[in-house]
Amino acid sequence: MKKLKTEFPKNFMWGGAIAANQAEGAYLEDGKGLDISSGFANGIKHEHDIEIQKDKYYPTHDAIDFYHRYKEDLALMEEMNFNVFRTSINWSRIFPNGDDETPNEAGLKYYDDLFDEMIKRGMEPLITLSHYETPLNLVKKYGSWRNRKLIDFFLNYCETVFNRYKDKVKYWLTFNEINNMRRMPGGAGGIFFEEGENQQQVIYQASHHMFVANSLAIKRFREICPNSKIGCMLSLSNVYPHTCKPEDVFETMELRRRSLMFGDVMIRGYYPSYTARIWADEGVEVQMEPGDEELIRCYTCDFLGISYYRTSTHEYGQPFYGDTGGDQGTPNPYIEATPWGWQIDPLGLRFTLNELYDRYQIPLFVVENGLGQVDEIDDQGEIHDDYRIDYIKNHVKALKEAIKDGVDIMGYTYWGPIDIVSAGTGEMAKRYGFIYVDRDNEGKGTMDRKKKASFEWYADLVKNNGNNI
């Protein structure tokens, strides 16, 4: 019988999370190739360009210039007592075209320096291998993940970075929010549809290739980095039935399953039995090769990383769509929303963590949670983002309650500890940071950094291991 835990464990990991494409900029520097995010003019939710257009503004091209300013930025993270920092390796810095024979040494060197700096400043690097950064050449030349060849290219990339960073990086994630293949396959997997094709067929076939790639990467990881941990990552903001009408409840469960299926495959190691029904209803027939299912069974993830921002509700038969923060349906009358319509629900985090731990029984890591808001600079030049402090306080309290409920949680990396480009919309105005970056939606501003009120507050939270609230 396990004892009741009333506090955050001593080795709990606290920090922040960003993604290379939303922060680094330097989009063609030091031999980097174009990646899928290079064509995001208005974020992943809107149409993106496969051909980069001259004279069009793409916010990811400069982003917040983390590529050149990471030392200054990580010094600020150290001031906030972070012991973990999550970012991604942009695949196209290492293999500019994705199918190159040899890696780009300048790209490898950049991440060597970046990880050294994190470690020097007391932060464990938590590294995502693919965060909406598939090399654009792979999209154009091969149709991205719809093509089985992508497995080999991804594996080559993984082996390269596992070998190179095995002594520096102990925590890895494979695909960011892989379940967004369902609703945002352009960003999540570089999938663009041809006219008249069965889109569900393409999505599930491409996802299968990613599952095989995930397992093969884990297989190599176990050999190259035997003492490190590798997880999968899903967008798991939750959805409630809008009412207790049985049809609302049932259809909500079905919707949730379509996300959890991704975790089921990568954690339990097999396609759950309900998959057959989903595929039959959608007219999907996934082509597998002999050995695929065995591989998926043998090489599963050590932990589950999740993003959790909000909840939504679902009404039977009503539309439901995908967004960076998670699935979105009918607004919930009981909770408030941000200006972007994201409904704030700390108890939903506790609910979700319990749901996931009951299902998977492996450690969970909240690798994204945060509040995107409009921040105003007052006459004294200060930013009083009390709303952000409230958001985190309430979510961290929920986290603590989940620990008391018996859930095994490895850590919490707040999303966007420094303002970065919004993945969903490409805006800078949707700010998450404890650190303000002087840059606007049109790309104007000095890029200077400034601490917001939440900066000291979060530093104090981490210093106290979350036990001061």
3-state secondary structure of 295: helix
CB of 35 to ligand BG6, least distance (A): 14
Strand partners, 127: 87, 172
Is residue 101 annotated as part of the catalytic site, yes or no? no
Out of 35, 73, 368, 419, the residue judged to bind ligand BG6 by CB under 6 A: 368
CB of 184 to ligand BG6, least distance (A): 9
Asked if 372 is part of the footprint of ligand BG6 (rule: CB under 6 A), the reply reads yes
Q: Which residue has the tokens 């396609």?
A: 271
State the Rg of the chain over Cα.
21
Nearest CA-CA partner of 86 in 391, 363, 416? 416
Residues in contact with ligand BG6, total (CB under 6 A)? Answer: 16
CA dihedral (214, 217, 222, 224) in degrees, to 10, reads: -160
Residue 262 contacts residue 178 (beta carbons within 8 Å)? yes
Out of 324, 343, 352, 373, the residue judged to bind ligand BG6 by CB under 6 A: 324
Our CB check for ligand BG6 shows the closer of 176 and 275 to be 176
Asked if 307 is part of the footprint of ligand BG6 (rule: CB under 6 A), the reply reads yes
Nearest CA-CA partner of 147 in 33, 287, 258? 287
Asked if 235 is part of the footprint of ligand BG6 (rule: CB under 6 A), the reply reads yes
CB of 136 to ligand BG6, least distance (A): 18
Which part of the chain contacts ligand BG6 (CB under 6 A), choosing from 30-38, 160-168, 202-210, 424-432? Answer: 424-432
Helix (H) or strand (E) holding 449: strand 449-451
Asked if 60 is part of the footprint of ligand BG6 (rule: CB under 6 A), the reply reads no
Which of the residues 393 through 422 are near ligand BG6 (CB under 6 A)? 415, 422
CA dist 47 and 49 (Å) reads 7
Our CB check for ligand BG6 shows the closer of 41 and 288 to be 41
Out of 13, 19, 76, 371, the residue judged to bind ligand BG6 by CB under 6 A: 19
**Please, how many CA atoms are within 13 Å of residue 317, restricted to the half-sphere of its CB?**
3
Asked if 424 is part of the footprint of ligand BG6 (rule: CB under 6 A), the reply reads yes
In degrees, rounded to 5, the angle at the alpha carbon of residue 82 between the alpha carbons of residues 460 and 68 is 125
CB of 431 to ligand BG6, least distance (A): 10
- Going from the C-alpha of 180 to that of each of 154, 194, 270, 421, the distances in angstroms are 19, 19, 19, 19
Residue 460 contacts residue 56 (beta carbons within 8 Å)? no
Is residue 368 annotated as part of the catalytic site, yes or no? yes
Which of the residues 169 through 188 are near ligand BG6 (CB under 6 A)? 176-177
CA dist 414 and 307 (Å) reads 10
- 105, 177, 401, 442: the catalytic one is 177
Our CB check for ligand BG6 shows the closer of 33 and 433 to be 433
Catalytic positions, written as ranges: 177, 368
- Which stretches of the chain bind ligand BG6, using CB under 6 A? 19, 22, 176-177, 235, 307, 324-325, 368, 372, 415, 422-425, 430
